[in-house]
Structure 1
């Protein structure tokens, strides 16, 4: 049956520019669709939301024997996940209160202005390489307290990690690229642990200082946890923000009427970013693993099987959103799945929102007279973290 090949067709690189017809096919095929490899796909908004909140659904790949080492807390279950997530979030300040992210506003503005300086009329730029990629890497460097002179080193490690994440299975040098990615992760983790240790007892106003100078030893991260968490901040915080900014610019350049409206009323920026998170989310799918047999809409998800939650399909579910394939920044009811939901709701969401609003706001004067050089642009290989690899724009 065609429905059994949906995951293979969605992840096929040929579908990267527009996977949404396949997501519609997924929703029509049923709440839960078994795939030829034994996994299950879920594409309805309400079913995805329920499973994201179900404590019987795990994120830990060790359950299936996929890895033996302890993964970062993004792939852990409670209570381990809760402990590490809480410790990591403490330096950001209490929820719903001004904290370290709000304090970064001025710095993000300055980084954005610096990146925009070379954007002269008549020039062709690559929005990814020239802007959307360096912005979040630089922000995370400043947040962690990486010295300015070491930022190029940090970006080099990030380049290798992104290349490994975007690897195609048939690539000739797949083993070498994965090995380089593993080595970059080790070197980056070691660098950050050493940098944190230098701040022990003499803290600065940065996350590494806060991690290593936690006054309560019971709440302090171990060196291994600190390394994994800091690397996670780079990868998860960086890749999603690049996609959010780039997908946002692509969407607005394809819809000049919305771009013009936004230029006339920049107050719409926050709602525009929320609609982008629904309409063109940076994360398309997430895997969950049942800890026990779970029945969803008459289908049994067996313990230990792979369950792929297609967040991007849920974001365009007509049973949840009116006219879901229409981009509408004034949409009144927009409880999207762009940052997930449940206990694994993206804890970097406030920073990603701030970066995207700042970036798009600063780009508005430039985009008003800009045009796409290539549409669709070349996309990244990664189907779960979907976004253009390059976005050439003529200013």
Structure 2
């Protein structure tokens, strides 16, 4: 049956420029569609939201024997997930109040101005390599308190991690890229732990200083937890922002009427970013594992199976959103799944929103007379973290 090959067809690189017709096919096929490899694919908004809130669905890869070591908190279940996420979030300030991330707005403005300085009329630039890619690396380095002279190290590590995530299945050097990615992850974690130890005696106004100088011993991260979770902060914050900014520029240039509207009224940008998170989300899928059999409509997710929640499909579900295939930066009631939902709602969402709003706002004056060099652009190999690998535009 064609429905049993949906996941293979969605993840096929040929579908990367436009997977949305396949998501529509998925929603028509049923609430939970079993694939030829035994996994399940779920594409409806309400089913995905319910499963993301269901404590019987595990995010821990060890439930399927995929890992032997303890993963970072993003891949743990409660109560351990809640404990570590709470500890990791403490330095950001109390929920629902201006905190460390909001205080970064001025620094983010300065970083963006520096990146835009070489962008002159008549130039051809790559929005990914020249702007969307270096922006979050620099922002997260500043947030963690990495000295400016060491920031190039993180560019190198990030290159290795992105290459490992974007492998083609048939690549001859896949083992080498996986090894380089693992090495970069270990080296980054070791560097951050060493830097944090230096901040124990000489604290600054940064996340690492806050982590290691927590006054309550019961609320301190262990060295292993510090390494794992600061690396995850870097990777998650970086991947989300690169795709969000690049997808935003591509969407705006394809729709000049909306671009003109936003240039006349930049106050719409926050809502436009929320619509981008629905319409062209940076994260397309998330994997979960049922701890017991779970009924979804007339289907049953079997215990221990891989369940792929197609967030991007839920974001285009006509049972939840009016005219879902239309980009509408003024859309009301836009409770999308762009950052997931439930207890694993994206840890870096506040930072990604600020970066995207500020970055796209700064680009608006340039985009009015810019044009796409290639459409569709070349996309990343990774189907779960979907976005252009390059986005050349002519200023």
Q: Deviations over 1:53-99 (max 9, x none)?
A: 00000000001001101111110000110011000100000111010
2:217 corresponds to 1:205:
no
Specify the alignment match of 1:237 in structure 2: 237
Shift of 1:201: 3.0
SS at 2:101 equivalent:
helix
Q: Deviations over 1:260-286 (max 9, x none)?
A: 000000000000000000000000000
Specify the alignment match of 1:320 in structure 2: 320
Equivalences, count: 395
2:104 corresponds to 1:67:
no
Shift of 1:113: 0.3
Mapping of residues 37-56 of structure 1, within 5 Å: 37-56=37-56
* TM-align CA RMSD: 0.5
| Whole-angstrom distance in 2 between the partners of 1:185 and 1:332 | 40
Shift of 1:306: 0.3
| Whole-angstrom distance in 2 between the partners of 1:102 and 1:242 | 19
Mapping of residues 106-145 of structure 1, within 5 Å: 106-145=106-145
Specify the alignment match of 2:157 in structure 1: 157
SS at 1:295 equivalent:
strand
SS at 2:171 equivalent:
coil
* Bigger Cα displacement from structure 2, 23-32 vs 293-302: 293-302
Shift of 1:348: 1.2
Specify the alignment match of 1:12 in structure 2: 12
Mapping of residues 376-387 of structure 1, within 5 Å: 376-387=376-387
SS at 1:68 equivalent:
coil
Q: Deviations over 1:240-278 (max 9, x none)?
A: 100000000000000000000000000000000000000
| Whole-angstrom distance in 2 between the partners of 1:360 and 1:156 | 25
Q: Deviations over 1:192-248 (max 9, x none)?
A: 000000001321000000011111111100001000011101111001100000000
| Whole-angstrom distance in 2 between the partners of 1:2 and 1:198 | 57
2:337 corresponds to 1:329:
no
Length-normalised TM-score, structure 2: 0.99
Mapping of residues 332-347 of structure 1, within 5 Å: 332-347=332-347
2:248 corresponds to 1:253:
no
Unpaired runs of 5+ residues, structure 1, are none
Specify the alignment match of 2:263 in structure 1: 263
Shift of 1:298: 1.9
Shift of 1:347: 2.0
Which structure 1 residue ranges, 4+ long, deviate > 4 Å from structure 2? Answer: none
| Whole-angstrom distance in 1 between the partners of 2:102 and 2:40 | 40
Mapping of residues 291-310 of structure 1, within 5 Å: 291-310=291-310
Length-normalised TM-score, structure 1: 0.99
